[in-house]
Amino acid sequence: MSIDGALNGLLKLAIFAAVIGGGALGAMAVLNHMTLDSQAAERRALLQRKAELDNSAVAPGSALACLNGGAGEAIENACEKSIFAGPQSAAGAVAYTAARLVLLADAHAFSRAGQPDILEAFAATRRAIELDRYGLAAHVLATRDGCTAELCAAFAWLRDTAALKGNLKAQAFDTYVSRYAVAWNKLEPEKQTPVASAPAAVPATVASSPAAPSGQPVSSKYDFPSSASIPAVSIMNAEPPLPKEATEAHAAQPKAEGSTVPIPPKRPQGQATTPPAR
């Protein structure tokens, strides 16, 4: 083989290696870019979840902001009554604390993937879990993860676990529930709205008459007929015949077209009932 042929072979090999190396570097750059984009998206998702939880705590009428603690004894005493005002509010506080614990665990896992600065955004959330107002975090970790004061994976996310361990030992949340459950049971019957029974049908003659309070006489301006003024009626006796004037009026009354039933005559004026003397 000539020297020129050998040089040409080496040159081709170098070019091929350069192409392969450049392609590998390009692929690595693309992968790194995709990883950064994925991490950026995960970071945004974590921060979005945190913002949603924070907003729910400060929503009008919400007592969840009380779970952050550090507001002073007087405010925290009032907060305790709000959190345990009823079983619904207590259950809401448990669900909120559970969501916070899941979020903090996800943020801690993300920090170990080369993003340790993310934990700075969750400092307030971590501190609220460490304070563990009313034993809510201890209750969630014990019932969900089987944590005890001696062993719990969540301890790795926290810096101060003294309050959490104490609440796990004392079962603080159960103590609060027992304290307020008596009041909840007393309030339950009062919260039930009685079902109103349907009113009985009222005759039209009664409904149109003015009502008088029970035990009080009706005003003298109203005049009701007495039972003596109403003639007795017997279904056993035949009806008396109509007067001659009524019979003639009945015969002269026109019949309805297409009907065999005669139109009844007008009531004779002489047969009108004379109102009783007052």
Sequential pLDDT tens for the chain (278 residues): 566 566 566 666 666 566 666 555 665 555 555 556 788 899 999 999 999 999 988 888 888 988 886 666 678 778 899 999 999 999 999 999 999 999 999 999 999 888 888 999 999 999 999 999 999 999 999 999 999 999 999 999 999 999 999 999 999 999 999 999 988 988 655 444 343 443 444 444 433 444 444 444 545 544 545 555 555 555 555 555 655 555 555 555 555 444 444 554 554 444 444 444 54
Question: Which is nearest to 65 in space by CA: 33, 30, 89?
Answer: 89
Query: Do the beta carbons of residue 86 and residue 63 sit within 8 Å?
Result: no
Distance from C-alpha of 208 to C-alpha of 99, rounded to nearest angstrom: 63
Residue 218: which residues within 8 A CB-CB, separation 6 or more? 210, 212, 224
Neighbours of 183 (CB within 10 A): 13
Longest dimension (CA), the chain: 156
Helix (H, G, I), strand (E, B) or coil at 37: helix
pLDDT of residue 256: 46
Q: What is the DSSP letter of 120?
A: G
From the number of C-beta atoms within 10 Å of its C-beta (0-12, 13-18, 19+), residue 100 rates as: buried
Q: Which long-range contacts (CB under 8 A, 24 or more apart) does 143-152 make?
A: 144/98
